[in-house]
Structures are given as C-alpha cells and as structure tokens.
Amino acid sequence: REWINHQENGLLVNPQDIQALSKYMIELLNNPVKKALLGLHGREMVKQHVNHETEMQRAELLYQDLIEKISIV
C-alpha cells in the first residue's frame, strides 16, 4: 500500500536526485503553510488507515520470528 501521495501528504523524490530534494526542501522552508498542510494530511491519513493494535501485533510477530531464527543459529 502506498503511504505517500506526492504533493498531497508528502513529497516523493528519487533518492539519487539531489537537486529535486534540495528544491523541495527550499520550497517547504519558504512555504510554511504548504509544509503544515502536508504534515496535517499525512497525520490524517495515518489516523484513518492505520490500526495501531494490528501494527503492534505484526511487529511482535516479526520480532518473535527473528528471535526464533537467531536461536536456531
């Protein structure tokens, strides 16, 4: 599932594109309203789509699986 929608709740940048990253960082520094709106929309998306109890259970299962794998070695 995609978490970030470009220009809606975040900014997507190719990790190798330093110029684009710099451009967006400067844009956000110069536009605090846009920065706040992206953050607000991101938080709202998490509130609507993330069940913290389910995520914690998934993380616990992952850790248990890793512990079992380490114990076998």
User: What is the tens place of the pLDDT at every residue in 24-52?
Assistant: 999 999 999 999 999 999 999 988 888 88
Residue 73 pLDDT class (50, 70, 90 cuts): low
State residue 28's pLDDT score. 97
As given in the structure block, the two tokens for residue 51 are: 């069940």
State residue 52's pLDDT score. 86
| Contacts of residue 1, Cβ cutoff 8 Å, sequence gap at least 6 | 49
Q: What tens digit of pLDDT does each residue of 1-11 get? A: 588 999 999 99
State residue 29's pLDDT score. 97
Q: What is the pTM of this model?
A: 0.66
d(CA 27, CA 20): 10
